[in-house]
Amino acid sequence: MSDEVFEISPADTARRIKIAKSPITQREWGSYLYAFDLDKRDKKSWEGKVILDVGGGDKIEDPEIAFPGAKVCVIDPEIGGKIKFQSAHEKRKGVVQEIPYDDNKFDLVLSSHAVPQHIFPVYFPRAISEMIRVMKPGGEIRLTPCVEGHDITAEIEVALANSGFEVEFISEKAPSITVIRPTEKAGENVGSKRIAWENFHKTFFPKEKIRVRP
């Protein structure tokens, strides 16, 4: 697959503009539990967890509001630039196509509106691959809004399933949420999860050399 030539349809552009103007795009920590369908989880369950927010933007609230006891990290290409204040415990400048963290780092990887809304569709497989790479074997990825059959295309969904990952679409929320997690077998340990990730990555990037990032 080539990253060189691609087109964005008028329908896709219109959908992204509509979502960008939605009041639900407010992305403070206090809104995250509901936005990602995590509001029913026991607050004690976050103790000791490591969470990554991809494209987190400006945030003023303390992340303890949503994730008490967790270490919350953020990557954003505008860290040190347009982003003037980011209250996460750790902040790094970076993009989802090349997440600046080692493999198997995070229990939970989140993205509100940054993925897939602010990346071109052609980069979505690489974005998912990178999020899987930094996710721990028993972790999960949550994206919102992410439309079934549109952002997670049939091709991506099949590749995930064939590689050892489950995809859940939560449409009861507005906007909708996509959850990606390893199957029980793929998430058994670091080795099994790495095989699953490599299988997904090779589906879209068969000629790339897989790098180990300790």
Using alpha carbons, list the distances in angstroms from residue 205 to 77, 78, 164, 202. Answer: 24, 27, 17, 5
pLDDT (tens digit per residue) in 156-198 = 999 999 999 999 999 877 678 999 999 999 999 999 999 999 9
Does some domain include residue 5?
Answer: no
pLDDT (tens digit per residue) in 55-76 = 987 787 889 999 999 999 999 9
Total domain count, the chain: 1
Please indicate whether residue 82 or residue 3 has the higher confidence score (pLDDT).
Answer: 82
Does some domain include residue 67?
Answer: yes
Does some domain include residue 64?
Answer: yes
Give the integer Cα–Cα distance in Å for 54 and 72.
Answer: 11
Does some domain include residue 213?
Answer: no
The CATH number of whichever domain residue 122 belongs to comes to 3.40.50.150
Does some domain include residue 209?
Answer: no
Give the integer Cα–Cα distance in Å for 210 and 133.
Answer: 11
Does some domain include residue 73?
Answer: yes
Going by pLDDT thresholds of 50, 70 and 90, the confidence category of residue 3 is: very low
Structure tokens at 186: 């793929």
Does some domain include residue 62?
Answer: yes
Does some domain include residue 214?
Answer: no
Find the domain containing 141 and state its range: 10-204
